[in-house]
Amino acid sequence: MRGTILNTITVLLGSVVGLTIGQRLSDRIQESVVIGLGLTTLYVGFSNMSETGNVIIPLLSIVIGAIVGELVDIDGRLQQFAGWLEKRVQGRNNRRASGPENEHDIQAAAERRARFIKGYVTASLLFCVGPLTFVGSIQDGMGLSSGFEQLAIKSTLDGFAAMAFAASLGIGVMFSVITILGLQGGLALAGSLAGEFMSDAMINEMTAVGGVMLLGLSLTLLELKKPRVANFLPALIIAPLIVAVATGLGIDIYP
């Protein structure tokens, strides 16, 4: 859990710095920052996708994962949770406003809510779909120094990303630490119980699927499309399972 705690601290610190800086940046600068993050996420997505040894595996994983995710509506539930958080965080400030609400107040509240949800969901997904999240957390739970080292690298990157995101998307980014603690903490616990079980092939295919999801996030950041990226999360589990099943059956999945 050391790596997860470190990751949480760096995201919190980065968010605080970003929120402080963001208040001093013009709308044009904030827009350019988000576009820059979108382009960078696009590059990382393509890079991660190249890790696959057989494109059929991430394709099947994404399709099956999307079906499962849509049936469960992971994206909707994540946004509902973000909306609940926003009410708890912003509700007190909203109640302090005196007088009846007018149309401007209602519109401003809706914009704050949408910004909070976008910041929380986008940051949560970006910080939690990469290979370092899964491999690093599992190995960290196993007590391996390599796991902590991977999460230390991830923590540094996430800290700077949180700074940039918080400056443009607001306080919702800071609350992504809840997702980090829940997911990485759970993976660390699984690692401590299950031991080392992921092969290089399983990691590579999971990385490729994560790359596809990052491409989806980049479309959101660039405001080209708003795919429900969270509904693809089951694919991160399905990809290594396909490799494990194929290996167990003696099927050569790599041409």
pLDDT at site 64: 96
Nearest by Cα to 64 from 187, 221, 212: 212
pLDDT at site 70: 95
Q: What is the C-alpha separation between 145 and 149, in angstroms, rounded?
A: 6
Nearest by Cα to 10 from 167, 151, 147: 151
pTM of the model: 0.77
Nearest by Cα to 230 from 76, 28, 113: 76
Nearest by Cα to 163 from 42, 11, 7, 9: 11
CA dihedral 222, 136, 187, 240 (to 10 degrees): 80
pLDDT in tens, 198-236: 778 888 898 888 889 889 888 988 888 888 888 998 998
Q: Which residue ranges of the chain lie beneath pLDDT 50?
A: 98-99
Q: What is the C-alpha separation between 126 and 121, in angstroms, rounded?
A: 9
- Residue 12: burial class (beta carbons within 10 Å; 0-12, 13-18, 19+): middle
Residues 6+ apart with CB under 8 A from 199: 243, 244, 247
pLDDT at site 197: 67
Phi–psi pair at 110, nearest 5 degrees: -65, -40
pLDDT at site 55: 93
Enter the tokens of residue 213: 């999801």
Q: Are 158 and 10 in contact (CB under 8 A)?
A: yes
pLDDT at site 72: 92
